[in-house]
Structure 1
Amino acid sequence: MEFLNSAVGKNITFVKPAYFIISAFNGIANIRYYFVFLCFIYIFSVVGNTLLMIVIILDHTLRGPKHIGVVNFAFTDLLSSSALMPKLVDIFLFNHHHISYNDCLAFMFFCLTFFAAQAFNLVVLSFDRVLAIMYPLHYQMRISHKLILSLIAFFWLLAITIILTAVGLLTRLSFCDSVVIQSFFCDHGPVYRLGCNDLTPNRVIAHLASVLVLWVPLAFIVGSYCCIGYSLSKTVTCRERLKALKTCTSHLSLVAIYFLPALFIFTFGSTILPNARTVSLSLATVMPLTLNPIIYGLQTQEIKESLKKLLKVKMQFKISAKK
């Protein structure tokens, strides 16, 4: 830390550290087994999301706007797990806790951008479900591939803009005291709180980002399902209602997995022990990446049927090859 002391001694107002130290899970026994578990989570996430994308791409019957959203969701999960998991395992399993200043900001940008993109993808999928259930006869006229692709592009741009602004404002901070990040990755909040000059702009953008990435998408999704519920209340038969609701189960499951743990942790986080909060937050971050392809593969009938057809063709090819 000599470079910090010399910088302060020369009355330099801006102090850029050479590195940060990521510190979490201190005092937890056998924590290495947890990161071995994360290795398997990462492998399963990559295989599951890749398989989901391959199934949809290869099956020409799966070309609806909904399937574009599902492919984008799986692609985002793949990027998110690849941005977070390998570095997480490297830090805590191989004790590489030091991370350079620039690498930390890049790590933060990619992880948070993909996290925001996941929330916005759920908004796209909920928009598709609203139109499909409320306007079943005019669904094809009201929604198109171009509209879905435009929404996806807009939300990707919005996610990048929000997170880039938040990360960019960190470069104005002077880190003249501690460089120890009390989190399991280069999280925005724990990093900006290490700054020793005015933190107001960083605090404002942090609150704004949490509203735009967490609360606004959740409010839109809840509002969407209120509209769906009102529309289904006018449906004549109970069978038709159940059939319509069945098409929403995959999306509702993903919404619950993504938002509920985050809301619980951020609402009651102050009453949870630090290590328990860190483990809970890490699980809430990585588990949806693994469960998403399972949910869409098992609960979406057309994707399940497509997977069965591909496996059947593969088995027939192997049998014919042996003959």
Structure 2
Amino acid sequence: MEKGNQSSVSEFILLGFSNWSGQQALLFALFLCLYLTGLLGNLLILLAIASDHHLHTPMYFFLANLSFVDLCLSSTTVPKMLLNIQTQTQSISYPACLTQMYFSIMFTNMDNFLLTVMAYDRYVAICHPLHYSTIMTQRLCASLVAVPWAIAILNPLLHTLMMAHLHFCSDNVIYHFFCDINSLLPLSCSDISLNQLMVLAVVGLLFIVPSGCILASYTRIISAVMKVPSAQGKFKAFSTCGSHLVLVILFYGAITKIYMTPISNQSTEKDLVASVIFIVVTPVLNPFIYSLRNNELKGALKKVLYQRKIFSH
């Protein structure tokens, strides 16, 4: 059952933080600082891992992929949000909106998969240290990244093609700072029941299952660490995994808040904050958490910065 007339919507209005009229300059400065910090930090991690052959190990291979994905995820939405805040024009064309939706879903899915893969990597390293090199082979590591990339590319393609077949009539106001699928669907004057079913199925399959795998991995890790006799050994193991757990909790907490609630285009401030956490904040925390608590990575970063300083002179 379709509602309204069938006039086509050519653009959408991203209200986002437009209601925060008195804090526009502060929001612009805050998000610009966070975006540039995350951009620089993730680029430095990629450069450090690529330039130091000692870091060409499974853990850093997955970390490099995570840095690349976080860099792309924030770049999919934040520049447009900054432009809207600066120019006070909240419009986005229909094709650009679907494109933004596609890439935001793709990189969010990939972030989810990489956090799961990294949890498995830490499980093998801590629970089966003597067999780590024989289990985490180059072939397995490549598969653990290639298969998720294939799923992450195809899954949002399905959502985007289904969205492209929907009709959008008069209502084109999105109460969000980017084209989120949960904010777009209620605007359609077509039957969206199949689209809603697909969203629920994807959330159930692609987020609940990986989060369960992460929980199982860390349950085994904690159990193994508690058996370590020395307090120093326990501290080292927990500090290695603690940073990963921080990102996991932030990421899945935000995802749960957004996609485990009824679909509505009327995004609340809590939805906006949750989206900011996994799109803006998490990509910033990633380089700081992994670099500041990792001596090997800190050493590689110092070498990269030292070499750049020499070449600059």
**TM-score normalised by L of structure 1:** 0.86
**TM-aligned CA distance change 1:243 to 1:57, over 3 Å:** same
Given candidates 186, 190, 200, the residue that maps to 2:183 is: 190
* Preserved CA contact (<8 Å) 1:175 1:195: yes
Q: Which has the higher contact order (CA 8 A, sep 6+)?
A: 2
What's the RMSD between the two structures over aligned residues?
Answer: 2.6
Give how far 1:159 is off.
1.4
**1:85 matched to which residue of 2?**
78
Q: How many residues align?
A: 307
Q: 1:200 aligns with which of 184, 193, 196?
A: 193
Residue matched to 1:23: 15
Decide whether the 8 Å contact of 2:258 with 2:271 is kept in 1.
no
| 2-structure distance, mates of 1:92, 1:213 | 33
Equivalent in the alignment of 2:128: 135
Segment drifting more, 32-41 vs 72-81: 32-41
Q: Distance in 2 between matches of 1:16 and 1:208?
A: 29
- Asked whether the 8 Å contact 2:10–2:93 carries over to 1, the reply is yes
Percent identity for Structure 1 against Structure 2: 30
Residue 168 to residue 100, structure 1, CA distance change in 2 (3 Å): same
2:92 aligned with 1:99: yes
- SS of the residue corresponding to residue 30 of structure 1 reads helix
1:244 equivalenced with 2:237 (yes/no): yes
Residue from 50, 55, 60 that aligns with 1:67: 60
- Give, in whole Å, the separation in 2 of the partners of 1:267 and 1:288: 20
Q: Is the 8 A contact 1:25 1:275 kept in 2?
A: no
CA deviations 1:205-232 (Å, max 9, x no partner) are 1112222343222111111101112223
Q: Secondary structure at the match of 1:193?
A: helix
Cα distance, 1:62 vs structure 2: 0.7
Q: Work out whether residues 24 and 275 of structure 1, in 8 Å CA contact, stay in contact via their aligned partners in 2.
A: no
CA contact (8 A) 1:22 1:183 kept: yes
Unaligned runs of 5+ residues in structure 1 are 1-6, 9-13
Deviations 1:24-46 (A, max 9, x none): 33432223320221111111111
Work out whether 1:212 is the aligned partner of 2:209: no
Greater shift, 172-181 or 26-35, is seen at 26-35
Structure 2 residue aligned with 1:303: 297
Question: Shift of the alpha carbon at 1:279?
Answer: 3.9
CA displacement at 1:56 relative to structure 2: 1.0
Q: TM-score, normalised by structure 2?
A: 0.89
Per-residue CA deviations over 1:54-88 (Å, capped at 9, x if unaligned) read: 11111111111111001001111111122111111
**Bigger Cα displacement from structure 2, 239-248 vs 292-301:** 239-248
Match of 1:293 among 271, 287, 300: 287
User: What secondary structure does 2:12 align onto?
Assistant: strand
Aligned to 1:176: 169
Give the C-alpha shift of residue 318 in structure 1.
7.2
Checking the alignment, whether the CA contact within 8 Å between 1:22 and 1:181 is kept in structure 2 is yes
Contact 1:22 1:97 in 2 (8 A): yes
